[in-house]
A and B are shown apart, each in its own frame.
Chain A
């Protein structure tokens, strides 16, 4: 309801008192007469010369001069001449000099009038027009650059949008200065209001050779975009039509989106949201996400409001302080700056996809770097080169600390084996826990080096560019470019890669990316490749391993296309790949990220991998043969074949025989489900190497050569690449898919595909005369 003066209410109009202003004596007199808040007033007639006016309130007639009626603010519920029409209240919001006034005039014609906001000195304009079935009230908010609480204009505009809840906000944007103007748009997005963007001064933009893909822009912003020229009135009808469509929820582009503030800030926003949800009053005051963002931005008004309205605000403010400190510690910058950077990153992503003919003289340092890194010709070679460096460092540099850890694990194993008396407990600790979980710890350096590079890519802003460069390639997959990031992470660990799909906005994109991600060969599978390729392919081992990695990528592409065409049909919803400004990452930030990832990995090793290792040892060690006096308590190969695992291996042997595998390979594949590295350890145990398993072990290699051909080894590596991911990845799949059905599908298709590919390679190789 619009607030107007009582003097403006036409005859037969009805209204309610909102506030009585004016001099104290007159105000007192009016209050005594019954002009108190909420009182219904009916205007019966005006005197022949228009003054005074006769009113009915509280059951009696009263005559009031227009001068006094000016001091009574009323809700104009029934004064509108178009009283029988549906109401549409539009708020115009935009930067100063965006052509807002000319658009307001074009919208409302000569029916505008000027009033004052109650309690503030900021001028507003309001006017009326009719459009179709609607009586449209247009409120022109003060021109602002943002909706933070730094100035009265910003506060007024924000409070109006939040508390007066206009049906639609029209965000008036100067088309010739899109980047700066869109900052306000990002704040309207955060507020979650229904909005239409008016690309004003469209004629000037066209004259300057600026081209804007309005449909795509609307899709990315989640609000329709209309080109207007305020001075001529061009586009006004379209603008009103879109406003009506948005109000009636008939505009397909209209949707609520979230701006991604980056992993660290998002994590802290979630923590503040969790605290806000604990307080019923604060939880229902605003959208918890918007509230949390404002608190992180040190928005004084929001903080004061939280303090005033809830007694439980201390916990929230405490969390806000902790979050501030955390962000500033990790990212070495104030949270306000981090959030503003993220918004400009969002805007830059939007512009990169929708805006052409950007002015060269405004090119920033970021733009200049982007000219090289996201260049059409150089972009992909640079990306491939950087990935090559990443893998080289991960595998080669990581090999040294990995060897040290292996040595340490071996010494601990030897020490325990020497101290403990022979027995089942020693067998469990040495061949179960140390072989299973201890072997996995060796991969900690690789994980940390990989995350060193990933952190570098993320913190400098290059990761966003990588996604941008790969956009077209990923579209051939039926996926958005951002799916590329989880794919890269899959080379490190599929579990973290699957979790990282949370950055994907669209649920079907996410499910598809999760399902094909295990085809990207994780570092845990590398020991298997190194063992088998080194044993059977000699000098060509490197090429074979490279081929296995390549096979995983090709299969992911093929499966992605297949699933998109069959199971996950439809277009990916548009979204923005942010291009945040380049930053020089701090060493502290990189180290913290590496340690966070490393500690997660260690927790996994000490948790689910340890548990799985114990269970696997149990099924390979039982049932145990009757002990013979003086004999070792370690399980012999014959006894192993009769264990639960051995029996299971023999049970599935007929299925694996066409692929070139014997029962031992079958058992290794089964135990590899716990963690792929365990495949190597399992081979060692099954080939009776005595627990001293090393991937370079010549003894193990000789034993493998007796039982396997090169063709079978290649088939086995491919099966290891494709088949069911490890329990960690399976848990992540289940958690992220949120569906047992789709998790089982993931297991089912990977097993089937692994069998088919290995069968084709082994049998095809035999037919071609390979061994």
Chain B
């Protein structure tokens, strides 16, 4: 029984890590201009980058 719980926790952890990485990838698009920068284009979300 303990082994099942541990495996479930491990499975959830692995999927959560995958979700975290996926979320990080999605955030990569959210670029924007900082102060003083030129706007070279638009990201998918419409931000200047």
Contacts and interface: CB of A to CB of B under 8 A. Distances in A.
A615 B39 CA distance: 41
B27 to A, nearest CB: 5
Contacts of A290: none
Contacts of A510: 34
Contacts of A576: 35-36
Contacts of A220: 36
Interface of A: prevailing SS: helix
A615 B37 contact: no
Given A423-B2, A424-B6, A611-B20, A257 B38 contact: yes
Contact of A502 (B6, B34, B39): B34
A38 interface: no
B16 A424 contact: no
B20 A608 contact: yes
B34 to A, nearest CB: 5
Interface residues of B, number: 29
A734 B24 contact: yes
Contacts of A731: 20-21, 24
A738 B31 contact: yes
A503 B40 CA distance: 16
A618 B14 CA distance: 11
Nearest to A261: B35
Nearest to A505: B37
Interface string A573-587: 111101000000000
A309 interface: no
Given A277-B46, A425-B6, A573 B13 contact: no
B24 A573 contact: no
B16 A611 contact: yes
B2 A573 contact: no
Given A257-B38, A607-B20, A611-B16, A425 B5 contact: yes
A260 B35 contact: yes
Interface in A717-771: 731, 734-735, 737-738
Contact of B35 (A255, A257, A270, A618): A257
A502 B31 CA distance: 9
B21 A575 contact: no
A608 B38 contact: no
Shortest beta-carbon contacts, A-B, top 7: A575-B36, A260-B35, A505-B37, A505-B36, A614-B13, A738-B28, A255-B38
28 contacts: A256-B38, A257-B36, A257-B38, A260-B34, A260-B35, A260-B36, A270-B32, A424-B6, A502-B32, A503-B35, A505-B36, A507-B37, A573-B36, A573-B38, A574-B36, A575-B36, A575-B37, A608-B17, A611-B17, A612-B17, A614-B10, A614-B13, A615-B14, A618-B6, A735-B27, A735-B28, A737-B28, A738-B31
Given A277-B46, A425-B6, A737-B28, 16 more contacts: A222-B38, A255-B38, A256-B38, A257-B38, A258-B34, A260-B36, A424-B6, A502-B34, A505-B33, A506-B37, A575-B36, A611-B13, A611-B20, A731-B20, A734-B24, A734-B25
